[in-house]
Amino acid sequence: MTVSHILGYPRIGAQRELKKATEAYWKGACTRSELESIGRELRLRHWQAQQDAGLDFVSVGDFAFYDQVLNVSLALGAVPGRFNAAAEVVGGEIDLDTAFRMARGRAPSGEPAAACEMTKYFDTNYHYLVPELHDGQTFTLASNRLFDEVDEVLRAGFTPKVTLTGPLTWLWLGKTKGGDFDRLTLLDSALDVYGEILARLATQGIEWVQLDEPALVQDLPLAWQQAYERAYHRLQSAPLKLLLATYFGGLGDNLSLATRLPVAGLHIDAVRAPQQVESVIDRLGPHQVLSVGVVDGRNIWRADLAALRERLLPLKVRLGQRLWLAPSCSLLHVPVDLAQESDLDDELISWLAFARQKLDEVVTLARLIDNRATPVDEQRLDQATRALDARRESTRIHQAVVSERLAAVSPADSQRQASYPFRAEAQRRALKLPLFPTTTIGSFPQTDEIRAARRAFKAGELGTADYQARMQAEIAYAVERQQALDIDVPVHGEAERNDMVEYFGEQLEGFAFTRFGWVQSYGSRCVKPPVIFGDVSRPTPMTVRWSEYAQTLTDKPMKGMLTGPVTILQWSFVRDDQPRETTCRQIALALRDEVLDLEKAGIKIIQIDEPALREGLPLRQHEWQEYLDWAVESFQLSAAGVANATQIHTHMCYSEFNDIIGAIAALDADVITIETSRSDMHLLDAFQDFAYPNEIGPGVYDIHTPNIPEVSWMVDLMEKALEKIPAERLWINPDCGLKTRNWAEVEPALANMVEAAKVLRQRY
C-alpha cells in the first residue's frame, strides 16, 4: 500500500479563527485558556479532516500560535535575554506570552521588549521569526507543547506523524547576534536537545518524525554539507524513524548528500523539481522510504491525476511499499478550503484545489496507483481530467490578441528612446524641479472613513457617483495638504486602493478573487492573493481618471502611481500552464498601456513600484540571472514607451540591494526611491559601489513608527547620502508609503522633511 501523508496543514482555520482568537487575546478580549481551547479545536478539526480524507497519518507539530520556527526556538530554550528577564516560566516551560513578546514585542503580560526580526521563509510569502544565536550559546529543552499535542492526538485516536523544523535548517535560518561567529559551533548543543525530543516522542509511541530541512535545496557551504552528515549520524540513534523533508526545489548538488544520510525516509519536491525523482531513486538505500511530493503545495491549481498516475506507476514498480505520496511541501502556503468559495463561478472552481481538496488528491492518487481505487476515486480522476481539458481549451484563458501582441514585442520596446543623460536634460526642462526635489512614495493615510466608503461601495450601499465623489474629495484633501507643505512632486494619495496588487488585479482581465482564500503571512496576519488564471489584458484605463483629476488641482507635476509587473506576479497565485515570465510580460504590456494613457493625459512623472523584485530571486544562485533578465525586461516593457521628457520612477522597500544592483540599474528608471533610513544610509553603498548612474531618493525617515523625524536628523542622513551620491541626483522622500499612518503624524513629519530639503538647498 502506498502511504499518503502531508507535510503540514494550514493552522489559521477556514474562517481565520486562529487570527481572530489570537488578536482577541492580545486585546484582552479573551483569556489564555479560551485561546488555548480554540487552538485545540482547530488542531482536532484539521486532524479529523486529514483522517476523513483517508491519509495514513495526521500531521502533528505543524500547529503554532505564531510561527513554527519560533516553536523550535522555544523548544530549544533559545529565548534572547531581553525576554527571559521578563519571562514568566510556568512549570519549567516558556509561557505563551513570552512567545508573543518575542514575536511582536509585547503581550498581555510581561514587560515589552524589542521583537525578534522577522523575514521571509525561503521564497515564500510566509514570514518566520529569526532565531537569535549567540557565541557559546547552549540549549535546553524548554517546552512541552509538542509532547502535549502528541498526547492530544493520541487521546483523540488518530495515527500521528510528528513534524519539526530540522536542526540544520533551524540554524541556517538563524542570525548571529553580538558579534559574528560560526553558527555550526552551536550544532552539538542543539542536537542534544533534538535527541532528547526524539527520545521523548518515542516513549510516547511515535513511529515517524518528519524533520524539515528545506535548506538542502539551497547552495550550502561545504562545512554545512558536512554538518548534515554529522548531525544525522548522531540523530540516527533515536529510537524512531526519521523522514527528512526537502522542498521548494531540487536537491541539486546536495542530492548525493541527502540520499546518503542515515534516515528511514526522504521527502522530495517533485513539483518544482520533477527531474530529480529518478536520480534520487537510483541512490536511495534499499530500505529507505521515498516520499514524492507530487501535489503542488505552493499553488492552487487542481492536480492532473491522470498524468500523475502515469508518472507514478513506474515509480511504484521500482519502490513498491517504499513509495509514499504527499503534497510538495506543507499546505501552509495555500488557502484552506475551496468549498467556501461561493462567489467564484463553477468553471473556475473546477480548476482549483485548496488545502482540503489537496488531501483528497493525494489519497486518490495513492489508491489509483495501488489499484484499489474506489468509485469516488474514479470519479475524482474523471472530474480532474475533464476540468483540466476544459481549462486547456477555455476561451477565458487564451486571448489571441494577447499572445499575438507578446509575440510581436521587439527588443526596442524595452528601451527608452534616449539614454539617461539625455532624458535627464529633457526632464529638467520639462519639470523645472529644484535641487533635492521632495516627494512621497504614493499612499496617504487610509482613514477609517476611506475604508468605510469602500466597504459601502462594494456592498452596493454607496453608488458609483457618490463613491467617486468621496474619493475625489480625499484626493483633493491630499493634494491641498501637499501644496501647503510645499512638496515638489505631489501624489494623489491612493485613497481609492484597497491594496496595491488587488486594485490592479480587479481591473485586469485574467484575474479572479476568492472570498476566503487567506494564507498566513506572519502571526495573525493573512493575505488573500489574487488568482491569475488567464491571459492578462487591460480593458480600460485603471488609474488615469484619478491622476488626471489630481493634476487639475495643482501646477506642480502630479506623479502617477502604478504597481509593477513583477510585484503583481509575485503577490498572486500564478497560472501554471505557461512560464511565469510569460505571465509577467503580459502584465507588463497591460501596464505599458496604462503608462502611455497617463502620459497622454498630461501626467509627466509616473512611478512603477517594484517592492517584490528581490523576493522573486530563485533559491539557487545559478538561476538568478535568468529570473533577473525577464523581471527587468518586464519592468522596462511597462515603462519604456514614454517620451524622453516623461520621468519614470520606481520604488523598492525592504531590500538588500547588493545582490541585485546590476538589475536595478538595468531597469533604467529615471528615479528610484528606496527604504534606507534605518540602515543609516548604508544601503546606498551598493549604489555607490556600482556607480549607479540615475537619480535616487534614499528614504530619510522610517514610516513604520509614529515618531516625527527632526529636521537636523534628516539633514544629517542626507549629508551621509551626499558622501555617496552627487547632489544633482538626490531626491528627498520618506522610506515608503504613508497609508498606515495618520495625518497628525504625516503632516509634521513631511513639514520637517521639506524643511530639511530647504536647509540642504542653502548648502549646495
- Binding-site positions read 16-19, 120, 125, 441-443, 494, 525-526, 571, 609, 615, 651, 653, 675, 736
Rounded CA-CA distance 184/137 in Å is 11
Q: How many helices (H) and strands (E) does the chain have?
A: 28, 24
Looking at this protein, which amino acid is placed at residue 761?
Answer: R
Binding partner of residue 442 among ligand GLN, Zn ion, none, CB under 5 to 8 Å per kind?
ligand GLN
Coil/strand/helix, residue 216: helix
Contact present, 171 and 212 (Cβ < 8 Å): no
Provide φ and ψ at 115, rounded to 5°. Answer: -65, 160
| Annotated binding residues for 5-methyltetrahydropteroyltri-L-glutamate | 16-19, 120, 125, 525-526, 571, 615
Question: Least CB distance from residue 717 to Zn ion, whole Å?
Answer: 17
Binding partner of residue 671 among Zn ion, ligand GLN, none, CB under 5 to 8 Å per kind?
none
Number of CB atoms found within 10 A of residue 185's CB:
13
| Annotated binding residues for L-homocysteine | 441-443, 494, 609
Rounded CA-CA distance 435/761 in Å is 6
Question: Binding residue for Zn ion (CB under 5 A) from 653, 700, 753, 754?
Answer: 653
Q: Does 338 bind Zn ion (CB under 5 A)?
A: no
Contact present, 258 and 229 (Cβ < 8 Å): no
Q: Three cell numbers at 665?
A: 540599474
Residue 651 or 724: the one with the smaller Cβ distance to ligand GLN is 651
Task: Give the binding range for Zn ion (CB under 5 A) out of 202-210, 217-225, 473-481, 610-618.
Answer: 610-618
| Annotated binding residues for Zn(2+) | 651, 653, 675, 736
Task: Give the binding range for Zn ion (CB under 5 A) out of 187-195, 386-394, 705-713, 732-740.
Answer: 732-740
Residue 561 or 584: the one with the smaller Cβ distance to ligand GLN is 561
Residue 194 or 546: the one with the smaller Cβ distance to ligand GLN is 546
For 546-580, the DSSP string reads HHHHHHHT-SS-PEEEEE-HHHHHHTSEEPSSS-H
With both helix axes pointing from N to C terminus, report the angle between 187-203 and 145-155 in degrees, rounded to the nearest 10.
Answer: 20
Q: What is the 8-class DSSP label of residue 160?
A: E
Rounded CA-CA distance 353/517 in Å is 11
Residue 490 or 611: the one with the smaller Cβ distance to Zn ion is 611
Rounded CA-CA distance 724/733 in Å is 17
Binding partner of residue 107 among ligand GLN, Zn ion, none, CB under 5 to 8 Å per kind?
none
Residue 101 or 497: the one with the smaller Cβ distance to ligand GLN is 497
**Which parts of this chain interact with ligand GLN (CB under 6 A)?**
441-443, 500, 561, 609, 611, 651, 653, 736-737, 739
Question: Least CB distance from residue 453 to ligand GLN, whole Å?
Answer: 18
Question: Least CB distance from residue 699 to Zn ion, whole Å?
Answer: 8
Rounded CA-CA distance 16/638 in Å is 37
Question: Least CB distance from residue 653 to Zn ion, whole Å?
Answer: 3
| Annotated binding residues for L-methionine | 441-443, 494, 609
Task: Find the Cα–Cα–Cα–Cα dihedral 162, 166, 169, 175, rounded to 10°.
Answer: 100
3-state helix, strand, coil in the chain (%, to 5): 50, 15, 40
Binding partner of residue 561 among ligand GLN, Zn ion, none, CB under 5 to 8 Å per kind?
ligand GLN
How many chain residues bind Zn ion (CB under 5 A)? 3
User: Alpha helices, DSSP H only, in 211-304?
Assistant: 222-235, 255-260, 276-283
- Strand 519-522 relative to strand 525-527, pairing: antiparallel
Convert residues 559-598 into a mask of x (bound to Zn ion by CB under 5 A) and - (unbound): ----------------------------------------
Residue 361 or 494: the one with the smaller Cβ distance to ligand GLN is 494
Number of CB atoms found within 10 A of residue 344's CB:
18
In terms of C-beta density within 10 A (0-12 exposed, 13-18 middle, 19 or more buried), how is residue 59 classed?
buried
Q: Does 736 bind Zn ion (CB under 5 A)?
A: yes
Q: Does 674 bind Zn ion (CB under 5 A)?
A: no
Coil/strand/helix, residue 759: helix
Binding partner of residue 739 among Zn ion, ligand GLN, none, CB under 5 to 8 Å per kind?
ligand GLN
Task: Give the binding range for Zn ion (CB under 5 A) out of 218-226, 316-324, 390-398, 646-654.
Answer: 646-654
Residue 140 or 740: the one with the smaller Cβ distance to ligand GLN is 740
Question: Least CB distance from residue 705 to ligand GLN, whole Å?
Answer: 16
Q: Look up 5 and say whether it is catalytic.
A: no
In terms of C-beta density within 10 A (0-12 exposed, 13-18 middle, 19 or more buried), how is residue 716 classed?
middle
Rounded CA-CA distance 64/99 in Å is 10
Rounded CA-CA distance 553/476 in Å is 7
Residue 335 or 611: the one with the smaller Cβ distance to ligand GLN is 611
Question: Least CB distance from residue 500 to ligand GLN, whole Å?
Answer: 5
Rounded CA-CA distance 331/10 in Å is 6
For 449-509, the DSSP string reads HHHHHHHHHHTTSS-HHHHHHHHHHHHHHHHHHHHHHT-SB-B-B-TT-SSTTHHHHTTSE
Task: Give the binding range for Zn ion (CB under 5 A) out of 82-90, 92-100, 651-659, 662-670.
Answer: 651-659
Q: Which residue is nearest to ligand GLN (CB)?
A: 737
Question: Least CB distance from residue 444 to ligand GLN, whole Å?
Answer: 8
Residue 127 or 358: the one with the smaller Cβ distance to ligand GLN is 127
Q: What is the 8-class DSSP label of residue 687?
A: H
Binding site for Zn ion (CB under 5 A): 611, 653, 736
Which residues have a catalytic role annotated? Answer: 704
